[in-house]
Amino acid sequence: MSNRRPTKKNQKEAPSVADMLTSQRPTLCGVPAAASPTGPEQRNPPQLKDPSLEASSNAILHYLAEVKGYLAEEIKRTAAEVKVEITAIGARTAIIEQRMEYVVIAHNSATALTNSLLHRITDLELELEDVSN
């Protein structure tokens, strides 16, 4: 068993960062990778040379379109349900506010009557004290 390390001749040199930044774009099956799309004309995927890869990519694109349509319908349906729920919550809140208004009016009336009774009791106690003297 030898503890030899490969010499520099046998080692592959890792590309430097500068090499990676200035080198050509990576390729997919011999076709250069597309640049990031900036307009509608660049949104098409690159044409693949292998028919099986092309069929697979077309199938994937078809499934992605189906998923996109399904998600759009789900979002639309969910948004409609949320809108109905928000409307119902608003109606219930309006009813609660109206009932609380009645409670506040009743509470204020009860407080006014309690104060009136307190004054009346105080007056009666004073009169009773005067009569007893």
pLDDT in tens, 62-75: 999 999 999 999 99
Q: What are the b/e assignments for 17-47, b being 16+ CB within 10 Å?
A: eeeeeeeeeeeeeeeeeeeeeeeeeeeeeee
**Calpha distance 118→110 (Å, rounded):** 12
Looking at per-residue confidence, does 32 or 125 come out higher? 125
What is the largest distance, in Å, between two alpha-carbon atoms of the chain? 126
Q: Which residue has the higher pLDDT, 13 or 127?
A: 127
- Does this model's pTM top 0.85? My answer is no
Q: Partners of 32 in the beta sheet? A: 27
